[in-house]
């Protein structure tokens, strides 16, 4: 006998009459309540610093780059790469440079050292319960990073990347349904795109890429270009690429930002005033001669 099917679809008329609670911006339009976010970059572009700064801003109702936290939210950060000593130094530096005091319980940190040699496997449904339990009281979950927090369930089986991601995706959807936001930190591959299956981007509300600038200035810290490669429900100036810089000195650390458009203009005009030829500027900044000439003539 064919089992009876309960129909759950709704009409378009019912859909447009439904009322939804407006989601609070946790940190700008790209990170709202219940959002799933993927941030990826090559090594050396400050992924962990970026993740920690997001956590600090969210936990203190503070500001990071151009974004202001909409409210103070509890954060749970899972770090599968850095030990407690290194994290203590980085978190301490962030707290010392913050204008807002962080509550003792505002941010929780879980590292591989809490479990021995490696993090629980986020692609294993049983281990997912550990992540769920550890982050039970948190509004924002940060996973730093996918490579160290997930792996095949059994090396003897054909547990490919797509299958692994399918299980992680199910957990992410559960977190979203519970009203939690999740930020995944990931690595870029040799091509510059995020490493591995592109299926990761399908359920994401926001995908951010941090990329090395064409003309990288040597500083104690790092510089990066920030691109919104996916931006669900926010548009225009909110998605404009940024130039970001993190620099440390004996007086502390600072974050700076500008639009990428403004940064390119400054770079072009500086080189032009130094007498560098248009074609050479184009090579240095990975732009066309026409684009350089257009900037100079503004």
**Would you say residue 28 lies in a domain?**
yes
Q: How confident is the model at residue 215 (pLDDT cuts 50, 70, 90)?
A: confident
**Would you say residue 221 lies in a domain?**
no
> Residue 296: what pLDDT?
84
- The answer to whether 74 touches 106, Cβ cutoff 8 Å, is yes
> What is the domain extent for residue 197?
24-211
**Would you say residue 216 lies in a domain?**
no
Select the more confidently predicted residue: 129 or 104.
129
Asked whether the predicted pLDDT for residue 155 surpasses 70, the reply is no
**Would you say residue 160 lies in a domain?**
yes
Q: Which tens digits make up the pLDDT trace of 8-36?
A: 888 888 888 888 888 889 999 999 999 99
Mean of all residue pLDDT scores within the chain: 89
Asked whether the predicted pLDDT for residue 220 surpasses 90, the reply is no
DSSP string over 119-173: ---TTSHHHHHHHHHHTTT-SEEEEE-HHHH---S-TTS---HHHHHHHHHHHHH
The two structure tokens encoding residue 222: 């790092």
Q: Which residues, other chains included, contact 187 with Cβ-Cβ below 8 Å and sequence gap of 6+?
A: 40, 41, 42, 43, 47, 145, 146, 147, 194, 195
Asked whether the predicted pLDDT for residue 175 surpasses 80, the reply is yes
Asked whether the predicted pLDDT for residue 2 surpasses 80, the reply is no
- The total number of structural domains that make up the chain: 1
CATH number assigned to the domain comprising residue 193: 3.40.50.300
Q: How confident is the model at residue 66 (pLDDT cuts 50, 70, 90)?
A: very high
**Would you say residue 219 lies in a domain?**
no
Q: How confident is the model at residue 249 (pLDDT cuts 50, 70, 90)?
A: confident
pTM, 2 dp: 0.90
Average pLDDT estimate for 130-139: 97
Select the more confidently predicted residue: 181 or 93.
181
Express as a percent the part of the chain with pLDDT over 70: 96
Q: How confident is the model at residue 156 (pLDDT cuts 50, 70, 90)?
A: low
Express as a percent the part of the chain with pLDDT over 90: 54
**Would you say residue 227 lies in a domain?**
no
**Would you say residue 88 lies in a domain?**
yes
**Would you say residue 207 lies in a domain?**
yes
Burial class for 274, CB neighbours closer than 10 Å (0-12, 13-18, 19+): exposed
């Amino acid at each position: 006998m064919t089992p009876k099917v309960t129909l759950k679809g709704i009409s378009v008329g019912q859909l447009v009459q439904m009322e939804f609670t407006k989601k609070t911006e946790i940190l700008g339009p790209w990170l709202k309540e219940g959002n799933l976010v993927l941030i990826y970059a090559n090594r050396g572009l400050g992924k962990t610093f970026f993740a920690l700064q997001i956590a600090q801003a969210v936990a203190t109702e503070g500001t990071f780059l151009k974004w202001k936290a909409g409210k103070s939210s509890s954060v749970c950060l899972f770090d599968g790469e850095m030990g407690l000593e290194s994290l203590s130094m980085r978190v301490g530096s962030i707290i010392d440079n913050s204008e807002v005091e962080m509550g003792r319980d505002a941010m929780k940190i879980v590292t591989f050292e809490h479990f021995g040699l490696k993090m629980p496997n986020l692609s294993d449904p049983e281990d997912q319960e550990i992540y769920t339990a550890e982050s039970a009281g948190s509004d924002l979950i940060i996973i730093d990073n996918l490579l160290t927090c997930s792996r095949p369930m059994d090396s003897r089986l054909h547990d490919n990347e797509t299958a692994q991601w399918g299980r992680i995706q199910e957990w992410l959807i559960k977190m979203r349904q519970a009203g939690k936001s999740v930020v995944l930190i990931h690595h870029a591959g040799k091509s510059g795109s995020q490493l591995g299956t592109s299926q990761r981007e399908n359920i994401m509300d926001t995908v951010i890429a941090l990329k090395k600038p064409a003309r990288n200035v040597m500083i104690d810290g790092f510089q990066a270009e920030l691109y919104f490669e996916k931006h669900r429900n926010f548009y225009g100036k909110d998605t404009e690429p940024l130039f970001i810089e993190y620099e440390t000195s004996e007086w502390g650390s600072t974050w700076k930002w500008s639009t990428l458009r403004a940064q390119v203009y400054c770079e072009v005009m500086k080189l032009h005033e130094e007498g560098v030829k248009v074609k050479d500027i184009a090579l240095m900044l990975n732009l066309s001669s026409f684009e350089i000439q257009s900037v100079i003539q503004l």
